[in-house]
Amino acid sequence: MGCVSQRRVTGFAAPFIRLGVQRKAMAETKKYSGGCHCGAVRFEVETDLTPVFDCNCSYCQKRGMLWTHVGLRQFQLLKGEDQLAEYRFNKRVIRHFFCRNCGISAFASGQDESGEAGFGINVRCLDDLDVAALKLTPFDGRSM
């Protein structure tokens, strides 16, 4: 998987790690398909969508992103690795991937503070998901 392979995932400072929120056992997970706007990048993810963070950092706020976190085994890039570009900002530890064609940032990768690798999924990029039905957890990324 090249740029998003398990071997190269580094630097994920997910909001739930900072908040000390413990991930519950993924007993009620569902498989979702998702991707960018133009369809060049497609992925599948298995998640319970708990929690979903509404981060107010400059990047997330300007792009309207809402995040949930999954481990390496819950994410699979189906197509479009060659269409991905990467953006890092601030402490440059989170690898935000976006489609070179349409500019949509559907996921990010990195490690939590304990060294566990995973992916941040922009839940707005999941197909057929009613975002209004989700319980959002505010996260003050602006203060970091």
Query: Please, what are the domains in the chain?
Result: 2-20+29-143 (2.170.150.70)
- CA–CA distance, 141 with 144 (Å, rounded to integer): 5
What whole-number percentage of the chain has pLDDT above 70? 78
Per the prediction, the chain carries an average pLDDT of: 80
Q: What are phi and psi of 78, to 5 degrees?
A: -90, -40
Asked whether the CA dihedral 128, 132, 133, 139 is positive or negative, the reply is: positive
H helix intervals, 13-125: 15-19, 58-63
Task: Give the tens place of pLDDT for each residue, 93-139.
Answer: 678 899 999 999 999 988 777 778 889 999 999 999 999 999 999 98
Please state the rounded mean pLDDT for residues 57-78. Answer: 90
The answer to whether the predicted template modeling score (pTM) of the entire model surpasses 0.75 is yes
Q: 51: cis peptide before it, omega within 30°?
A: yes
